[in-house]
Structure 1
Amino acid sequence: MSTSTERHSLSQGRTSGAPPSGTDPAGASPAAPRTSPAVPADALAGRDLVVDLARVVCVLLVVVIHVLMVGVGRAPDGAVVASQPLTEQPWFAVSTWVGQIMPLFFVVGGFASATAWASTQRRGGDGADYVRGRLLRLARPAAALFVVLAVALTVATLLGVDPALLDTAVTGIGTPLWFLAAYGITQVAVPVMARLHATRPAATFVGLATAALLVDSVRYTTLVTDVGLLNLVFVWLFVQQLGFAYASGWFGRAPRLLLAGTALACAASLPVLTTVGPWSDDMLTNLNPPAVPLMVLGVGQICVLTLLHPALARLMRTRAARAVVFAVGSRGMTIYLWHLPLLIAVTGLVLATGGPLPEPASAAWWWTRIPVVLLVLGLACALSLAVGRLEGAPKPVPAGRRRPSTLVVAVSAVLVVAPPFAVMLDGLDLRNAIAGAVALPAALWLLGRTRHRLDQGLTGGEG
């Protein structure tokens, strides 16, 4: 990687890794596609639409996979029985080598972070300005979910709902919340990691990969699984750096033969890592805590995405594709956070009304997953009409005011990350739901408190 080119590309927010149809997210480009009535022009201007497509595909795959993992039926005595039909299939582990798309999610998140950081710098902002904005976008939809969960669990507890049944339900609902902790950590680190990428890209990749490998070595040698939690930092920052490299054009400039060879090498290394090495052949197991194979997947996935970019860019020139990507992408966090609560709610309604429940993993059950996925997506989109505005960009700091101090932003980051981290460690329960319902709104309040500008010559970035 060329250090001077990387620095210039990141500072300008360029997306030179993409062909002409993939444009600068920070500004309009003459190569931007024509808009359709369903998609606002300002939502398309200057975007690499292939990245938007990848993000939407990731969200939809998460929904599909989770729907296939939740099996609820009745035992002969009428008792409710929960299972995970998807994970019980003999082919499941190998399928995760393709279906585990969270590394790609963090790669495209890194791309978005690089361009957002460049935009913050162009406006004269600093690292705390960037972190404040990203925390607001992450915390607002998450706070709403935690408040609803806290109220629902309190009511269910007071009504005397069977604790075992309630625990099964909330365990499923809390499954995706780890992402809030991991993504929050990577967002807080963006200003520093972007600077390292601009000045020492190769050394940064090597350092993160080495640290992740060391953590896994200690984890599997000592059999202390919690040691692997350190890789919430090293693994996901490594994958995020791949997004920085994509944003600064490295993958777009790389020879296609090199990209194809790297992707094949990554695929070929997985059987070795999971047979000779200590890692599981199930990439879902390697997700919690995150492990080295996810870095390999991330490298392979960004290489494949770059190879497919020309074809996907042509697809994204069609009005239908742009409309779908905009419709899902503009409410992606709502769909991600709420699809499992909605699925559990629908299943609970069927149970309460005595509706039909096909036996999990039966042929009838598999076929009914199609309408169930569509129903969950439809309900999530309907819900987004009420809460989708929480995903919007935060309002700029008013003229004559300054953002909260850097210390306040740092405290807010802890308040945003801690509740989902606790859920990841101990599962979702009433205590953790209430903690999130208190901590996340508190973080939003702190981040929203602006200060009078004592000196009109000061920039909003000063803290």
Structure 2
Amino acid sequence: MPLPADLRAFATAIEARTPAHRDRAVDGLRALALLSVPAGHWLVGGFTLNDEGALHNASPLAALGALAPASWLFQLLGIFFLVGGYSAAHSLRRATERGTSTGTWLRGRLVRLGRPVLGVTAVWAALLPLLSLAGVPGTTLRTASVLVVQPLWFVGVYAAITALTPYALRAAERAGLWSALPPLQSVAVVDALRYGPFADAMPSWLALLNLLPGWLFGYQLGLVWGVGRLSRRAAARLLLGGGVVLFAVLLTVFGYPASLVGVPGEARTNSHPPSLLVLALAAAQSGVAVLARERLAALLARPALWAPVVVINLAAMTILCWHQSAMLAAAIPAAALNGGAAVAGLTADPTSLGWVAARLAWLPLFAVLLAGIASVTRYFEQPWTGASTGRRVLAGALAAGFSLYALAVV
């Protein structure tokens, strides 16, 4: 079916403005990984209603454990870090060629990450008292705060890894694929300690040691790819095959949980922080990404497919920071206006396949709400050149206040 004339003109305009050297495959992979975040959270982010009509977080995976393998399709953060490393390698190299210092390059990257986070936390700091005055229960506000900050940990980790780029890039140039081995080994050692025969004697904070190396692994693979040390198909096949084998062994022999997202009530989790299973999946996904690069680039040479990729990438941080707010924009009014009755797929207990079917029907509304929110909040992704010092200080104070509240309730 041909596109309507206005959409065709829009796609043609984006095509005309795309530089010839633009790596469409990498942008396509980033867009796919970006979309997996709201899709995954919207599918596993259920609610229950208490007697007062307040919302509590719940997950369908707690009652429907057989659906855990579906989480493998939505856990694409390995791909996100892969393309992040690839892009950082090229961006830093271009900055150096222009005479830009590494410190200036790094500050620019971190500011771009920080502006949207500051925006979403400041807005929610202002919203909380207004919603409370409107009669929204405090329990619902605490639930909302947890959901809003849930994706923001990712931004913090990504910022920390970005700060390591100059050092990790030198390692990638010198050691190639071998430079990704230390973070893999680090996660393997921590997993062996927290899940092995002496697990009961290990402190609870030990798992946090996996936070940085666990996500650095995919980023390091991206840096290796970016410097041309992961372009051979043999290396990509090694990653794919090795990742698949390790993934299968961890599941079947070592008893790792099948779900790649946290499940309420489960003692072990693969994602917070990442376990070795997440790295195995990231390795396999990276191998597929490298092998599929040329075909994906050819596919995205079509303007109709390229245009949405560009739009998604331009709103990357907005999508990450605001997608939970879009779901809450549907759930909070539903809890307040439905007379205390649960709404299937939205505020009803996520304990049946019927809930899954109903939640799938809600996804288009969530997407529309996110698009509406993004049309307003994309301002936060742009340089705040027109904002006065007073407004910046106010935004910072509001963001700090919300952050303290959210940390207290998480």
Q: Given the alignment of the two structures, is residue 60 of structure 1 paired with residue 50 of structure 2, yes or no?
A: no
In 2 relative to 1, CA 213–79 (structure 1 residues): closer, same or farther, beyond 3 Å? closer
Answer whether contact 1:197 1:204 (CA < 8 A) is retained. Answer: yes
Question: 1:20-419 alignment to 2 at 5 Å?
Answer: 36-39=11-14, 41-72=16-47, 74=49, 82-156=57-131, 161-220=136-195, 221=199, 222-255=201-234, 259-260=236-237, 262-277=239-254, 279-284=256-261, 285-354=269-338, 357-358=343-344, 359=348, 360-362=350-352, 365-392=355-382
Distance in 2, matches of 1:281 and 1:351, equals 32
Letter in 2 for 1:135: L
Deviation per residue, 1:4-41 (Å, 9 max, x gap): xxxxxxxxxxxxxxxxxxxxxxxxxxxxxxx9434164
Deviation per residue, 1:401-444 (Å, 9 max, x gap): xxxxxxxxxxxxxxx9xx99x99xxxx7626499xxxxxxxxxx
Letter in 1 for 2:69: V
**Per-residue deviation, 1:261:** 5.3
**Per-residue deviation, 1:235:** 1.8
Match of 2:6 in 1: none
Answer whether contact 1:138 1:180 (CA < 8 A) is retained. Answer: yes
- Tell me, what secondary structure is at the counterpart of 2:301? coil
Letter in 2 for 1:175: Q
Answer whether contact 1:67 1:343 (CA < 8 A) is retained. Answer: yes
Deviation per residue, 1:344-397 (Å, 9 max, x gap): 1221112222287114455654344345322222222233233324334799xx
TM norm structure 1: 0.71
**Per-residue deviation, 1:139:** 0.5
**Per-residue deviation, 1:84:** 1.4
In 2 relative to 1, CA 87–200 (structure 1 residues): closer, same or farther, beyond 3 Å? same
- Tell me, what secondary structure is at the counterpart of 1:132? helix
Higher-RCO chain (CA-CA 8 Å, sequence separation at least 6): 2
Answer whether contact 1:110 1:242 (CA < 8 A) is retained. Answer: yes
Distance in 1, matches of 2:408 and 2:20, equals 39
Q: Which runs of 5+ in 1 are unaligned?
A: 1-34, 396-415, 435-463
In 2 relative to 1, CA 216–383 (structure 1 residues): closer, same or farther, beyond 3 Å? same
Distance in 1, matches of 2:58 and 2:219, equals 34
**Per-residue deviation, 1:90:** 2.4
**Per-residue deviation, 1:43:** 4.1
Answer whether contact 1:73 1:357 (CA < 8 A) is retained. Answer: no
Letter in 2 for 1:268: V
**Per-residue deviation, 1:85:** 1.8
Q: Which has the higher helix share?
A: 2
Answer whether contact 2:329 2:369 (CA < 8 A) is retained. Answer: no
Answer whether contact 1:280 1:286 (CA < 8 A) is retained. Answer: yes
State the identity as a percent: 27
Tell me the number of residue pairs that the alignment of Structure 1 and Structure 2 aligns: 371
**Per-residue deviation, 1:73:** 5.2
Deviation per residue, 1:116-160 (Å, 9 max, x gap): 111221121222112101111101111101101222234445667
- Tell me, what secondary structure is at the counterpart of 2:47? strand
**Per-residue deviation, 1:88:** 3.2
**Per-residue deviation, 1:337:** 0.9
**Per-residue deviation, 1:286:** 1.3
Answer whether contact 1:120 1:130 (CA < 8 A) is retained. Answer: yes
TM norm structure 2: 0.80
Letter in 1 for 2:329: A
Answer whether contact 2:218 2:279 (CA < 8 A) is retained. Answer: yes
Letter in 2 for 1:357: V
- Tell me, what secondary structure is at the counterpart of 2:260? coil
Distance in 1, matches of 2:406 and 2:28, equals 37
Answer whether contact 1:262 1:303 (CA < 8 A) is retained. Answer: yes
Letter in 2 for 1:226: W
Answer whether contact 1:263 1:301 (CA < 8 A) is retained. Answer: yes
Distance in 1, matches of 2:211 and 2:187, equals 9
In 2 relative to 1, CA 326–361 (structure 1 residues): closer, same or farther, beyond 3 Å? farther
Answer whether contact 1:343 1:376 (CA < 8 A) is retained. Answer: yes
- Tell me, what secondary structure is at the counterpart of 2:164? helix
Letter in 1 for 2:243: C
Distance in 1, matches of 2:192 and 2:273, equals 13
Q: Which runs of 5+ in 2 are unaligned?
A: 1-9, 262-268, 386-395
In 2 relative to 1, CA 363–193 (structure 1 residues): closer, same or farther, beyond 3 Å? closer
Deviation per residue, 1:279-317 (Å, 9 max, x gap): 433222211112222222111111111222232222101
